[in-house]
Structure 1
Amino acid sequence: MAEHTHSHAVVSLSDEGKYGPLLREAGVPLACLSMPKGRLSLGGLAAFRRVLSAHRPDIVQCWMYHANLVGGVLSRLAGIRLVVWGMHNSGLDPLVAPLATRMADRACALMSRVVPTQIVSCSQQASRRHISAGYSASNWTIIPNGYDLAVFEPDARARSRLRRAWSIDEGQFVIGSVARWHPDKDHRNLAAALAKLSARAEFPFKCILAGPGISPENNDLAGLLDRYGVRDKVMLLGPSDGVAALMSAFDIHVLASRREAFPNVVAEAMACGTPCVATDVGDIGVIVGNTGCVVPSQDPDALSRAITNMAVENRNSPSWETRQQACRNRVASDFSLERMARAYSALWERLSAKDLRTENDQEQTIIW
């Protein structure tokens, strides 16, 4: 049987973002519609119609609310029968999400029974949340995120370099957390847990926080750390393009969130051999399994106890090395980039075979 191949073209509702150069380098056509964030424009909609006419795709794969709505509806109007939506969050918080995004979400829920042939989610929990919010329950597929193990791998040199730059003392336990400043990430929960660790004085530690909005200029974050008395225990790095190096420099990675779907940072840390302590939200328990600690959300006592247990085990080299290897093995076996790619390819082929009765070796064009 001939191997099925796909050709791809990518459409961005706005600009090329940070992935544009990578796509061009890979030879993937990229069209940018230049629509304002959270708004539609007639010029952008017309440009997308031209892209559809030029590529005549067999399948249109969309990604999140605005793209699902615009890409799905216009593709159907253009006569494309196979439309796949992508849902990669745990639903919207009405107190935080922008009005335009909430409106797009509501429109997608109403159209979810007629526009998408299939809805792909990276998370069982995310699919359940969207179904309970009014989405169709009959056309979901779960494809977990995948990770490049050649990028996310243990890096001893990066670990030594960063820990020197951070002035980490010998025997100091390094707690890391890569998460943007957002209510869902619940930095208050983490700060409260750190305060309990500091009060116990059971072991010396340093906490490294990184992500968009995680900087000394963030007065709300600085005030939070001061309020819990842990400002001297925490270093704020801001956003970083070197997440793999950061993960290698941490002893553990902590995610204290109150809402998630399938958080990439947990699997990325594990791929680097860094055990995780995380709250039991979204599919975190599925990712971590028995390689780390999963605790109830919004429970700083449980979070601090789990971190303490990890710190104690960290002093036992053979046990800790076994746990580190188990972390990487779990990502390699269940969440590799290759496994995710095969799952998407199999989905597209199944939909094509069912709807178009295509031969297995016929090339298709997929627009994301």
Structure 2
Amino acid sequence: MKIVHIISGLGVGGAETTLLSLVRHTQNTDVIHTVICLSALAPLASDFIDAGAKVRILGMHHSRPNPGAFVRLTKWILEEEPSAVQTWMYHADLIGGIATKIANVIKRIRRTHPLPKLVWGIHRSEVPTRHSAITRYTARLCSILSRYIPDQIVCCAEAARLSHIQFGYDSEKMTVIHNGFDTAKFSPNPEMRLAMLTACHLPNDSLLIGIVGRFNPAKDYDNFLRAAAIAATRLPHARFLMVGKDVDNSNHTLCERIEELGLTDKVTLLGPRRDVVQLMPAFDFLCLSSRTEGFPTVVGEAMASGTPCVATNVGDTALLVGETGIIVPPADSTALGLALEKMGLATYEKRAEYSMHARRRIIENFSIRSCWDRYFRIYSENKSRIR
């Protein structure tokens, strides 16, 4: 089976990470992946190539129409002759969806068959009502065209499915496939904690509380820092390790907020990292402070690594965590701070119990194998049976 994936960019994000995991999982099988990146942003391109995928960079600018690039995309779809086209996120759904439909018209004229199945992907729990005008209009146009363009629509979370149905998406085409996690790649590794302490020049008795995500309003880092200030009063050995794009000392807004809250000596900004596999088992526990998520990849990766989580109740996070961590309301720094404190004051045995159950929950319910199996069934299903 040959699958063409069309994605807005190949930066470090939840959808991109899920796609990379799927490609890696099917490496050395009869599944052939071609990944078409619409933009020039592709720092993960080499990772996809190493995983066995063919990568093609279109180089479009998200705010400027480029008819030539669109024609080239249509030609690439025809050249690849895929069994299925999977698009990832709004811009790719719209542009890749229309290009695939045009490619199918050309195939009908040429009398070349079969036509590839077109599957859209939604990876946000909420519709983008507060984002840029281009993203809002793209999502609105996708909701209108959802009845005519895709054969099926995959949502990363039940919360995403419900919110997009309310927004106007075709409910009959929508299904939920939760992100899967590579439990061989993400696994407990006690040596990583010592390595982190050494790298950050921290005392051996430090309590390492991690947070991973780009600097973005959706991640609500102010919520995290205010919660950290609350927890630090009862957790004198706590050290808060922050990882992500623009989460570094050059971010003056972030650094000023850390200083205002008296956390300068307790927070370490690690910036963007490519070694999240090593970072996750180094934390004593992970925090998710987001105000919106679909199905948070970082939480699943932490759990697979045996790292318990304190997280806000956004998207399907509570479904993912279950009873293996602590869930609090979003945008409630007091509740989040008390939860960090509770996890930090838990005995070693209690956190070890959280750790064991967290990894087991991922293995039994959210493995990359089960995720791929569901995608494969959709790609293999006859079009006539859809809807």
Give TM-score scaled by structure 2 length. Answer: 0.85
Q: Secondary structure at the match of 1:321?
A: helix
Equivalent in the alignment of 1:66: 91
Letter in 2 for 1:173: L
1:161-180 equivalences under 5 Å are 161-180=195-214
Q: 1:306 aligns with which of 322, 339, 354?
A: 339
8 A Cα contact 2:235 2:345, kept in partner:
no
1:158 aligns with 2:192: yes
Equivalent in the alignment of 1:127: 161
8 A Cα contact 2:88 2:121, kept in partner:
yes
RMSD: 2.0
Equivalent in the alignment of 1:98: 132
Letter in 1 for 2:188: P
Q: 1:85 aligns with which of 105, 120, 124?
A: 120
Structure 1 distance, partners of 2:335, 2:62, is 39
8 A Cα contact 2:215 2:245, kept in partner:
yes
1:239-278 equivalences under 5 Å are 239-278=272-311
Equivalent in the alignment of 2:82: 57
For structure 1, list consecutive stretches of 5 or more residues without a partner in the other structure. 356-368
Kindly report structure 1 stretches of 4+ aligned residues shifted beyond 4 Å: none
Letter in 2 for 1:13: L
1:64, CA displacement in angstroms? 0.8
1:131-150 equivalences under 5 Å are 131-150=165-184
1:9, CA displacement in angstroms? 2.5
Count of aligned residue pairs for this structure pair: 348
1:318 aligns with 2:349: yes
Q: Secondary structure at the match of 1:257?
A: coil
8 A Cα contact 2:151 2:383, kept in partner:
no
8 A Cα contact 1:39 1:100, kept in partner:
no
Cα 1:163–1:351 shift into 2, 3 Å: farther
8 A Cα contact 1:38 1:101, kept in partner:
no
Cα 1:25–1:240 shift into 2, 3 Å: closer
1:32, CA displacement in angstroms? 2.2
1:35 aligns with 2:60: yes
Structure 1 distance, partners of 2:216, 2:48, is 29
Q: 1:343 aligns with which of 344, 366, 374?
A: 374
Identity in percent? 34
Letter in 2 for 1:177: I
8 A Cα contact 2:288 2:311, kept in partner:
yes
- Of 295-304 and 222-231, deviating more is 222-231
Structure 1 distance, partners of 2:48, 2:277, is 21
Q: Secondary structure at the match of 1:138?
A: helix
Equivalent in the alignment of 2:363: 332
Cα 1:196–1:143 shift into 2, 3 Å: same
For structure 2, list consecutive stretches of 5 or more residues without a partner in the other structure. 1-28, 105-114
Give TM-score scaled by structure 1 length. Answer: 0.89
Letter in 2 for 1:29: K
Structure 1 distance, partners of 2:41, 2:345, is 46
1:279, CA displacement in angstroms? 0.4
Letter in 1 for 2:219: K
Cα 1:81–1:9 shift into 2, 3 Å: closer
8 A Cα contact 1:59 1:84, kept in partner:
yes
1:107-126 equivalences under 5 Å are 107-126=141-160
RCO higher in 1 or 2 (8 Å CA, sep ≥ 6)?
1
